[in-house]
Amino acid sequence: MENYKRLNRTLVHKGKITTFYTDRMLLPNGAEADWDFVDHKGAAAFVAETDDGKILMVKQYRNALERQTLEIPAGGINAGESFCEAAIRELEEETGYIVEDAEHLLDIYTTVAFCNEKIGIYCGKVKQKKEQHLDEDEFVDCFAYALDDLLQMIDKGVLQDSKTVSALLAYARKIRKK
């Protein structure tokens, strides 16, 4: 933080997943400014490939956008849980599929201008669909798509979720190198 200094941090609101602060910053030119900061507990996601080569996607309502989105399975990290453990748990809860193997794909920070949310993204093969195990406030539908169809959805602007776009592009690059 060369030439930047946080003078103080004021708690604005503590939520279930995030905590909101106002940071009073000393800038390189000597001026002071208030910056928003959102502290996030972290999340994990999984690019899951079925036996027939399709990628599992979940459709759910997202309040911030006031609409349903199509995404890779993902969710928050629970206390004491690793990113990989959370990715596997969320995939199994949201889709009912069991992970055969998990490999780290990439990490992303979703909105670096004001939030420290880190998402660890994993990939692997899945098998035997069982029942979903959703939270009380979750309503998630699961679908399977060919990777090329998902890449076309990115190109057409249908898929806009940053973790999903990043993960699918990285996964396509990874498997095409093999």
The catalytic residues are: 136
Q: CB-side exposure of 153: number of CA atoms within 13 Å?
A: 17
- The whole-angstrom separation of Cα 97 and Cα 43 is 19
- Side chain identity at residue 153, one-letter code: M
Q: Is the dihedral of CA 58, 56, 54, 175 positive or negative?
A: positive
Q: Could you count the other beta carbons within 10 Å of the beta carbon of residue 104? A: 13
- The per-residue DSSP string of 61-124 comes to EETTTTEEEEE--EEEPPTT--HHHHHHHHHHHHH-PEES--EEEEEEES-TTTB--EEEEEEE
